[in-house]
Amino acid sequence: MIQVTFKKSGKTVPWDPEARNLLDFAERHGIIIESSCTVGECGTCSTFTLEGQLAYFAKPESPRGPGLHMTCCTFPLTDLTLDA
């Protein structure tokens, strides 16, 4: 089972495939990541991925910088550590 670690929050929780995305998953566990559009357009929810790999449900309009990913439209492929 894939484990997702939120480093700043000090929480590691098993990924729930029924979560809509990493942003939704974080909120379910009481971890607040600032967001706005929730559809991969504004970049507000961008969070650094410190370890592991994730994927986008759909290719973003404006990709972020290296290691920076939009949590509202991504899901983990491997164990993941986010800077959140």
Query: Alpha-carbon distance 48 to 29, whole Å?
Result: 18
Instruction: Name beta bridge partners: 14.
Output: 3
- Residues within the interface to ligand FES (CB under 6 A): 35-38, 40-45, 70, 72
**In the complex with ligand FES, which residue's Cβ is closer, 35 or 49?**
35
* Least distance (Å) between residue 58 CB and ligand FES: 12
In the complex with ligand FES, the residue whose CB is nearer, 37 or 55, is 37
How is residue 59 written in tokens?
Answer: 């290719």
Instruction: Specify whether the CB–CB gap between 24 and 38 falls below 8 A.
Output: no
- The residue among 1 and 32 lying less far from ligand FES, judged by its C-beta, is 32
Whether residue 75 contacts residue 21, with contact meaning beta carbons closer than 8 Å, is answered with yes
CB 63 within 8 A of CB 40: no
